[in-house]
Amino acid sequence: MKPGEHTLTAFENFMEGIWKQNPVFVMVLGMCPTLAVTVSAINALGMGLATTFVLVFSCLLVSVIRNWVPKEVRIATYIVIIASFVTVVDYAIQALSLGLYEALGAFIQLIVVNCIILGRAEAHASKHPPLTAVVNALGMGIGFTIGLFALGGVREIFGTGTLFGISLFGPGFQPWIVMLLPPGGFFVLGGWLLLFAWWKMRKEAKDGA
Amino acid sequence: MERREEIEAPGALPSRQDGRPSRPFRLSSYIVSLFRRKSFARGVHPDTHKSTAGKPIRRLPYAPRISLPLAQHIGKPAVPLVRPGEEVVRGQPIARADGFLSVPLHSPVTGRVEAIRLHPSASGAWVESIIIRAYDSSTQEVLWREPRDMEALAPEEILAAVKECGMVGLGGAAFPSHVKLSIPPERRIHTLVVNGCECEPYLTCDHRTMIEHPADLLRGIGYAMRAVGAQRAIIGVEDNKPDAVAVLTPLLPADGRVTIEMVRTKYPQGAEKMLIKSLLGLEVPAGGLPLDIGVVVNNVGTLTLLGRLLPAGEGLTERVVTVTGPAVKRPGNFWVPLGTPIRHVLQCSGALDGEAHAELEVVLGGSMMGQAITSLDAPVTKGVTGILVYDREWISRETATKVYPCIKCGECVQACPMGLNPALLGMLAAKRDYDSMSADYHIADCFECGCCTWVCPSGIPLVQQFRVAKGLLRARAA
Amino acid sequence: MSEPLPNPGAETTATTTSWRLIAALGGVALLCGVLIVTAFQSTLDPIAKNRRIALERSIFSLIPEGVSLHIYAVSAQGTTLLRPGQAMPKEAQRVYAVYDAHRHLRGLVAEAGAVGYADVVRVLYAYDPHQQAIVGFAVGAHRETPGIGDKIRTDADFQKNFVALDARLDASGQALAHPIRTVKHGSKRNPWEIDAISGATITSRAVGRGINDSASTLLPRLHPHLNNLESPP
Amino acid sequence: MTELRSAPHERLGVSVESIMLNVVLALLPIALFSIWLYGLSALALLITSVVVCLATERVFNRLSGQSSTLSDWSAMITGILLALVLPPSFPLWMTAVAAVVAMGLGKILFGGLGMNVFNPALVGRAFVQAAFPSAIATWVPSYAPNRFHEFIPTTLTQPLMIPPDITAWVKAVSADAFTGATPLAMWKFQHQLTAPEDLILGIATASVGETSAMLILVCGLYLALRGMLDWRIPVGMMGSAVILASAFHLYNPDFFPPPVFVLLSGGLMLGAMFMATDMATSPVTPLAVWTYAILIGVVTVLIRYFGGLSEGVMYAILFGNALAPLLDRSLPTRVFGRRKPWRVGS
């Protein structure tokens, strides 16, 4: 902490990733899985939770060993730690649901290089005690999950007319195929970004008035 | 204007223009030539509004009091030779030139110097002026002249005479004529281009001058050719003035050194660079002057008055001014003594009858490049070609159009005679990216003809933005 | 970002010894190794089970009467029953023999794959040895364009091609009597032709080609030994 | 002297509204002809598209706190153009989706009038092409006998629902062998050519407003003569398409169709006259305009001959739109008294 900067409460620390620095809508990070796997709500949730799991445990471990690991090999250890937890998640998802595993496909493995996780480990966990690190990571993970869900939900509703596989409009629904294609991901993301920017603008206008 | 770059002089000129014999004006050849009329690229076709073209030049009653700004030309202001209270006669020099880039002033009236003080000028600024009260009883004849034998003069002596008469470019630029006619020794001038285009809407003073004083004009052309050493002269006239061509053609000298050439009626045909391109097919290099390619351009008004004043040894005391516009009840062309208040001219032409002044817009010059003035007390100066008065109805019609964002219709690109991209420049101006405007898109080449603004369907004041940008860039460079 | 900037004064100036670096990396690696191995061991069985269930589900969906299946490796040498855990011999094709409640062979399911519009399209197809025809196919993983290429899953007309797609062997028994071909939509004339989906010709062709390639090597090898497969071992 | 305007003191007087209004007027005959061809459904399609476009623009005006920009007629043009490039049987709810996307994504997101990079109507059309590929490839015959008192069954599909199968309906209303394929698709997939007179008169299967090449030509000519349409774009685009098509046709007359077919079929004419010429999305400098036009013509033919789709005009124009700003900057005008127009900088 810089001198003069007020110490964040645990709640603020948690909310950081959900609202102020939401990885999807504010920082626009991790676009690869964001656009590729969010064709359905369940995929989005699965991906989000997997990432959250990796994020929380990596940050916990990084924070625990932060005083013990010399700075020269910091990134190397982070990658090893993150990769290990990703492998664990990979097996866990296979064991839980093969369907989800197939849907998420290569993107589980790609969590290893997800900039959100490495970024959090480097920028936050390596400098804070375990509890703070975990709370922050949890916030970030949940923020990411919410972001993915917001995309996946919309894309599933329009793309297949369902949410979590439950049909919303009956059997005659006309799927919007573009929503399941990568361009659809961009459209929905763009829409959400627009909405976020608009909210922010209005809030600032109100605060200013 | 002083910048003269070393640019490769063009080789042989198109032989077509050389030594063409003068021929009488024939309607059939005029019609044929309509279809192969020379011109420059792009440009616009505004309504010409030349209703005053058929009216002979008349004189106005003298104003009781006149104000002569010491700086009516580009360059250093003149230095007064008279003191308040002194009596002056019409034509008497009352201020001398201050250096090379400066011209003297002559009294336009017989009367008494009231004061030398600040007086409103057309731009709104108060400038040092000689105020003279005219004698009511005077006949206002020119009483000061030193006739000279022009044939005996060497080129330098002609230049001295031009300077002595206080002549400046009467087409509006007010650049001292003797400077323009002074050719550096390393340059050779092959052609004198006589600008009789008068492409500005509303203005007809040059047109009337050509019709009424062709002999003076041809005499003036002869003096200028001798001064610059040009072997030939081409009078360029827009093809909406066939009567002027008809008057001039029979008077052209038999040796064929002076020809008259019709060019397409198109704005801004009368811009120096455009006219040279139309007549000779030559382009003045960017940032250069016509003399870089061996050409000197002079306005017909300037040369006509030189042709009249030089042999008589008189000074420039009056000029032809077109007074016109929707609010003018008795429009026409007038010989106006320099220094006459614009209010006086407008009263005489009926523009101020009954109308509240605040309802009017008074513009010096034509509708495309003229400047609106703030005070009716401002005087007519050497550079005033016309006084254009708009009434309320006209103004509100013109200002009713809404301003839209640029829709990139490209009309301005197809209008800009300089081949600039005003749409892009406008966008850069809006972003205040003046460096890019100047370095990449040549804003310096813009001569503010106003074509872009005239065509713009979005109503964007492009040329105004460019004026601001050029001003800022100049200020930054200085 | 509200992260504090690194404070240069707080950095240790002394270089860390190599030994410490190795120790740190080694320690972390050890820790992680333990973690991964634990996860691997504990999920091994459920994953295998999941896979088997998923595979069986799609196989039984092709042959609805089936209740049990056995895996055979088919090669030029003949057919071999594969016990669970037994490795697949090289150069062999995997065939699932499906049996009904009366322990009769109801059909054989094999894998095929060919390059489609976006990537390899993997399908399972069911072969009925009694009819000598292909009687169904199921799409595995694919990345064909949703709404166009993935019609192969949903298009009823396309699925009808596989009710009884002729896959008889010729007289020599060394090749298919008629290679399975995908033809332009609406121009199917023969039982060995697949009527392509209009607008998704490339994916349709991939399915046809994949099945043809697989069947034309598999079936000649399989046929002489069909008797071995007639009843479950 | 209160009035102090800066020069020039007079203007040409052609305003954005008058240009846009004239484009609307030029599109009206095409729209009316399409109603004559396809009846109630085309009318409903046009109305839906226009109303939704206007409403979208108004709503976004509200949200961004601007005053209404409907009076510039540009939203109206997008609405009409969008309807003209959709198939007549297109369900109204999908039309509404296309209109919202056209205005929202195609225009307003970029900053509104003049700021958009892509032709809004084509953005809308491209979106529904990707979203509803089967509905946009469903064609119905023109001059159906019942067209003025009955909708095409798909037109009134309930929102979000799949349009019904109209094969039976089409068989019932079409007199002769109607194939349900556009002339381009028939050439591409069945290798059959449609007679040029059918293409000129609008009898061939097509989008609502692509049918009559003749009418489009006349309406485009009107705008070009009034100076509200850059004649270089249709000339360059159609010219390059015809020249390239002729070359291919000469090379292999059996496989490649004659150039007149290329010119008259599909959306080439409509695209060249009214889409590629959209001022905001086309370049301004002369060299850039020609390059842009020729590029679109060439890409259109290449997509038609070698692409997966039978029609390429839409993507070709969108491609041209994307390049337009780049072309403007890399092919500047030659400034008077300067050389090397293509080199920015002095």
With CB atoms and an 8 Å threshold, state whether A80 touches C28. yes
Domain with C23, as residue range(s), is 8-48
Which of C1, C2, C44, C122 is the best residue to mutate to test the A interface, defined by the most A CB atoms within 10 Å of its own CB? C2
Tokens of A63: 């924070």
Q: Are residues C124 and C167 in the same domain?
A: yes
C42 and C118 housed in the same domain: no
Please, which residues 170-199 of chain C have a Cβ atom closer than 8 Å to chain A?
none
**C57 found inside a domain:** no
B280 three-class SS:
helix
- Which residue among D6, D112, D284 places its CB closest to the CB of B421? D284
From chain A, the residues in CB contact with C20 under 8 A are 70
**Would you state the structure tokens that stand for residue A84, as one six-digit string?**
């290990």
User: Does residue C55 fall inside a structural domain?
Assistant: no
Distance CA C115, CA C127 (A): 22
**C10 Cα to chain A: minimum distance (Å):** 12
* Mean of the per-residue pLDDT values of chain C: 81
d(CA C204, CA C186): 13
Determine the distance in angstroms separating the CA of C147 from the nearest CA of chain D, rounded to an integer.
Answer: 7
Residue pair B323/B386 in contact by the 8 Å Cβ criterion: yes
The two beta strands, B93-96 and C165-166, are unpaired
Between B283 and C1, residue with greater pLDDT: B283
Average pLDDT rounded to a whole number, residues C11-34 = 81
Give B444's DSSP letter: G
The answer to whether the beta carbons of residues D289 and D233 sit under 8 Å apart is yes
Geometric angle at alpha carbon D261, from D255 and D265, rounded to 5°: 120
- Closest CB to C35: pick one of A84, A96, A181: A84
Question: Which of A52, A65, A56 shows the shortest CA–CA distance to A129?
Answer: A65
According to the model, what pLDDT value does residue C11 have? 46
Confidence of residue A10 (pLDDT cuts 50, 70, 90): confident
**Cβ B219 vs Cβ B177: under 8 Å:** no
What pLDDT was estimated at residue B355? 58
Of C3, C36, C141, Cβ closest to residue A84: C36
Q: What is the pLDDT at residue B31?
A: 66
- Same domain (yes/no): C37, C83: no
Q: Do C16 and A102 touch (CB under 8 A)?
A: no
Contacts of C205 in chain D (CB under 8 A): none
Least Cα separation, residue B404 to chain D (angstroms): 7
Task: Clarify whether residues C44 and C153 are in a common domain.
Answer: no
- Count of CB atoms within 10 A of residue B3's CB? 8
Q: Please tell me the distance in Å from D117's CA to the nearest CA on chain B.
A: 11
Instruction: Kindly state whether residues C154 and C121 are assigned to the same domain.
Output: yes
Pairing state between β C68-75 and C93-99: antiparallel
CB proximity C146 to A under 8 Å: yes
Compute the distance between CA of residue B302 and CA of residue B317 in angstroms, rounded to an integer: 13
- Chains A & C: contacts with CB separation below 8 Å: 84
Distance to chain B for D194, nearest Cα, Å: 37
Which residues in chain D land under pLDDT 70?
Answer: 1-3, 175-180, 189-190, 201-203, 340-346
Chain C partners within 8 Å of A96 (Cβ)? 46
Number of domains in chain C: 2
Strand partners, D112: none
Q: Kindly give, in sequence order, each residue whose CB lies less than 8 Å from that of residue B160, ignoring residues fewer than 6 positions away.
A: B178
What ranges do the domains of chain A cover?
Answer: 11-166+175-208
What is the gyration radius of the CA atoms in chain C, in angstroms?
Answer: 26
The answer to whether position C80 is within a domain reads: yes
Pairing of strands C133-139, C165-166: antiparallel
A3 pLDDT tier (thresholds 50, 70, 90)? very low
A85/C contact by beta carbon, under 8 A:
yes
Q: Which residues of A touch D97 (CB under 8 A)?
A: 176
Give the nearest partner residue to D161 out of A173, A184, A194, using CB atoms.
A173
Question: Which of A88, A102, A181 lies closest to C35 in CB terms?
Answer: A88
What are chain B's partners, defined as 3 or more CB pairs within 8 angstroms?
D
Residues from chain A that touch D163, judged by Cβ atoms under 8 A, are 174
Cα(B69)–Cα(B341) distance, rounded to whole angstroms? 12
One domain for residues C25 and C78:
no
Residues of A in Cβ contact (< 8 Å) with D103: none
Which 109-128 residues of chain A touch chain C by CB within 8 A? 123-124, 127
pLDDT tens-digit series, residues B336-345: 999 999 999 9
Binned at pLDDT 50, 70 and 90, residue A70 comes out as confident
Residue C1 lies in a domain: no
- Write the ipTM: 0.77
DSSP state of B418: T
Q: What is the pTM of this model?
A: 0.82
Higher pLDDT, C115 or D19: D19
Structure tokens at B153: 């003069």
pLDDT digit string (tens) for chain B, length 478 residues: 333 333 333 333 333 343 444 455 566 666 665 566 678 889 999 998 999 999 999 998 889 999 999 998 899 999 999 999 999 999 999 999 998 999 999 999 999 999 999 999 988 889 999 999 999 877 778 888 888 898 889 999 999 999 999 999 998 888 999 999 999 989 899 999 999 999 999 999 999 999 999 999 999 999 999 999 999 999 999 989 999 999 999 999 988 899 999 999 999 999 999 999 999 988 999 989 999 999 999 999 999 999 999 999 999 999 999 999 998 989 999 999 999 999 999 999 888 876 566 678 899 999 999 999 988 899 999 999 999 999 888 888 877 778 899 999 999 999 999 999 999 999 999 999 999 898 888 999 999 999 999 999 999 999 999 999 999 999 988 7
Instruction: Show the 3-state SS of chain D.
Output: CCCCCCCCCCCCCCCHHHHHHHHHHHHHHHHHHHHHHHCHHHHHHHHHHHHHHHHHHHHHHHHCCCCCCHHHCHHHHHHHHHHHCCCCCCCHHHHHHHHHHHHHCCCHHHCCCCCCCCCHHHHHHHHHHHHCCCHHHCCCCCCCCCCCCCCCCCCCCCCCECCCCCHHHHHHHCCCCCCCCCHHHHHHHHCCCCCHHHHHHCCCCCCCCCCCHHHHHHHHHHHHHCCCCCCHHHHHHHHHHHHHHHHHHHHCCCCCCCHHHHHHCCCHHHHHHHHCCCHHHCCCCHHHHHHHHHHHHHHHHHHHHHCCCCCCHHHHHHHHHHHHHHHHHHCCCCCCCCCCCCCCCC
Same domain, C67 and C19: no
pLDDT band at A4 (very low <50, low <70, confident <90, very high): very low
Rg, chain B, Cα only: 22
Give the Cα separation of D39 and D152 in Å (integer): 9
Taking the C-alpha atoms of residue B21 and residue B34, their distance in angstroms, rounded to an integer, is 20
C149 with C209, same domain: the answer is yes
Tell me: do C207 and C169 sit in the same domain: yes
Contact between residue B299 and residue B160 where contact means Cβ atoms under 8 Å apart: no
Q: Taking a C-beta distance cutoff of 8 angstroms, is the pair B188, B295 a contact?
A: no
- Mind listing the pLDDT tens digit for each residue in B164-194? 999 999 988 889 999 999 999 898 999 999 9
Which residues between 153 and 192 in chain A have a beta carbon less than 8 angstroms from any beta carbon of chain C? 159, 175, 177, 180-181
Q: Tell me, what's the pLDDT at C14?
A: 55
CA–CA separation, D277 vs D225, rounded Å?
14
- Which H/E stretch holds residue A167? strand A166-167
Nearest CA in chain D to C145: D130
Assess contact for D87 and D136: CB atoms under 8 A.
Answer: yes
A69, A70, A91: residue with CB nearest C39: A91
The Cα D16–Cα B401 span in angstroms is 9
pLDDT of residue B384: 94
Task: Give C14's contacts (C-beta < 8 A, 6+ positions apart).
Answer: none
- pLDDT for residue C143: 64
- The number of residues in chain D equals 346
Determine the pLDDT at residue C208.
87
Domains of chain B: 60-135+316-395 (3.10.20.600), 150-312 (3.40.50.11540), 411-477 (no CATH)
Query: CB-based contact (8 Å) between A165 and chain D?
Result: no
In a domain, residue C2? The reply is no
| Among C98, C93, C112, C95, CA closest to C61 | C98
Of D127, D133, D160, the CB nearest to A169: D160
Residue contact B424–D279, C-beta within 8 A = no
D138 and D129 in contact (C-beta within 8 Å)? no
What local confidence, expressed as pLDDT, does residue D333 receive? 86
Cis peptide before B268 (omega within 30 of 0): yes
